[in-house]
Amino acid sequence: MFEFCRDRRGGVAMVFAVTAIPLFGVAGIAVDYSRATDARSQLQAVSDGLALHVANSENRQNPEQVIEAYLAQVSGQGREPDHLGSIVSEGSWINQNTFSLELSGDLRTVMAHVVPGIAESMHVSVRTDVHIDALTQQYDPPEMTYLNPDAGDYNQLFAYCYDHESANPADPQGRDRYRSQMTLIADNEGTEYDFDWPRCAEGESLSFSMRNQRHVRSHPGLLDNPNRPPFAPVFEYFTDTRIVNGREIFDIIRVAEDIPGAWNRWFRPGQIDQGFDMLETVRCESLDECVGESDGGILPEGKHRAPQVEDRGCTPGSYMYFGWEDRPPGQPGPNHNWLQPGWTDRSYDDIRIVMKCPDSGEIGSRNVRIIR
């Protein structure tokens, strides 16, 4: 018995057994801390990308929808932070130009929790604030403007600014208050107008309006008496341009301004309709390209066709062509000849302009920077 008590063999094992738990705990804390640091770095990258995405989105009123869609895309592409559970998000506009986003999640520990008092998960959170500087890129006055002088209708072209970030796309009736600096720039009588080109503010986009008065160039007497045949109704069309990721989206509406009584069966004075397929857009890499195909260019020609719609943004060194059909297809009424309400030739060349793209950036581009 006394020999057993005096025996010191195995002492190292006993000491190791006693100290093993805290040693493993310290090592576990180091491992889990490293994992948490990696997860936080990955989460910060997601947060930065998401905040910039929200700031560049047109859906400023509902950032939650943009956040949800972005995080679903991150998850679907396998880009979510390693070992992190579901991501919790909270984002809001601090002011008109600053968006703040917080992302967080819980990282389950693999070793540290063996130490008494250490939880089984570690909370990881990050924050990103982004600021939008003023809108700087828009078109300058057209390089070329052409309104068909042979048209029987009288057409006028206006440029204006449209506050697309404040307007509700689903409410065409209420858009007028979001239009400003309405500027007459050309007509198909060859009139030379002296004008100040609109300069649009943050959240606004350069847009165009066409005023179409039927038949008055072929029947000048209608100017004094628009209620006699073949009548001279007036329609206004507005592009109300939105800019999404550098690309212009034209949600054209028509306002029936002056409608003779004989046309009331098809149109009501003040009637507003939406969704007109009347504008052709083509991006040219040079001015020489911005001519018709028969002249060696790339612009479509011919009648009774669908308009080409450019799906690329206006980038430095390029030009954007716009071609209008002054009588869009799909209008009500007879359409057997050009004096009738529903007639159109769908040539998309009644009004043509060529705009030079900005020298830097894209149309509608803004400087969005991370400030935290």
Q: What is the pLDDT of residues 346-362, one digit of tens each?
A: 999 999 999 998 876 66
Average pLDDT over residues 61-76: 84
Clarify whether residues 193 and 172 are in a common domain. Answer: yes
Greater model confidence, 73 or 293: 293
Clarify whether residues 106 and 68 are in a common domain. Answer: yes
Q: Are 188 and 217 in contact (CB under 8 A)?
A: yes
The answer as to whether 191 is a domain residue is yes
Q: How confident is the model at residue 114 (pLDDT cuts 50, 70, 90)?
A: low
Q: Are 372 and 134 in contact (CB under 8 A)?
A: no
pLDDT at 75 over 70: yes
Clarify whether residues 208 and 333 are in a common domain. Answer: yes
Residue where a domain stops, chosen among 77, 98, 133: 133
Q: Residue 186: CB partners within 8 Å, gap ≥ 6?
A: 145, 147, 156, 157, 193, 351
The answer as to whether 237 is a domain residue is yes
Tokens of 36: 């948490």
| pLDDT, tens digit (0-9, with 9 covering 90-100), for 294-313 | 999 999 999 999 999 999 88
Clarify whether residues 146 and 124 are in a common domain. Answer: no
Weakest mean pLDDT among 39-43, 120-124, 176-180, 360-364? 360-364
- What are the φ/ψ torsions at residue 233 (nearest 5 degrees)? -65, 155
Average pLDDT over residues 360-366: 61
Clarify whether residues 181 and 93 are in a common domain. Answer: no
Clarify whether residues 52 and 122 are in a common domain. Answer: yes
Q: How confident is the model at residue 94 (pLDDT cuts 50, 70, 90)?
A: confident
pLDDT at 198 over 60: yes
Cα dihedral: 293, 294, 296, 301 (round 10) = -20
Tokens of 155: 């057409």
Q: How confident is the model at residue 1 (pLDDT cuts 50, 70, 90)?
A: low
- What are the φ/ψ torsions at residue 211 (nearest 5 degrees)? -105, 120
Domain carrying residue 156: 141-357
The answer as to whether 362 is a domain residue is no
| pLDDT, tens digit (0-9, with 9 covering 90-100), for 226-270 | 999 999 999 999 999 988 777 888 989 999 999 998 999 999 999
pLDDT at 111: 59
| pLDDT, tens digit (0-9, with 9 covering 90-100), for 144-175 | 899 888 889 999 999 999 998 888 888 888 99
Residue where a domain stops, chosen among 114, 133, 152: 133
Clarify whether residues 49 and 161 are in a common domain. Answer: no
The answer as to whether 372 is a domain residue is no
* DSSP of 351-366: EEEEEEPPSSS-TT-E
Between CA 355 and CA 372 the distance in angstroms is 38
pTM: 0.66
Clarify whether residues 162 and 202 are in a common domain. Answer: yes
The answer as to whether 4 is a domain residue is no
Greater model confidence, 76 or 113: 76
The answer as to whether 3 is a domain residue is no
Residue where a domain stops, chosen among 133, 154, 174: 133
Q: Indicate the SS3 state at residue 151.
A: coil
Clarify whether residues 77 and 202 are in a common domain. Answer: no
pLDDT at 245: 73
The answer as to whether 201 is a domain residue is yes
- Per the structure, the count of domains in the chain is 2
Tokens of 174: 């209420």
DSSP 292: B
Greater model confidence, 308 or 41: 308
Q: How confident is the model at residue 22 (pLDDT cuts 50, 70, 90)?
A: low
Clarify whether residues 161 and 63 are in a common domain. Answer: no
Strand partners, 302: none
Clarify whether residues 260 and 222 are in a common domain. Answer: yes
pLDDT at 54 over 90: no
The answer as to whether 371 is a domain residue is no
Mean pLDDT of the chain: 85
Q: How confident is the model at residue 52 (pLDDT cuts 50, 70, 90)?
A: confident
Clarify whether residues 182 and 63 are in a common domain. Answer: no
Q: How confident is the model at residue 200 (pLDDT cuts 50, 70, 90)?
A: confident
Percentage of the residues of the chain whose pLDDT score is greater than 70: 85
pLDDT at 164: 87
Q: How confident is the model at residue 135 (pLDDT cuts 50, 70, 90)?
A: low
Between CA 249 and CA 310 the distance in angstroms is 10
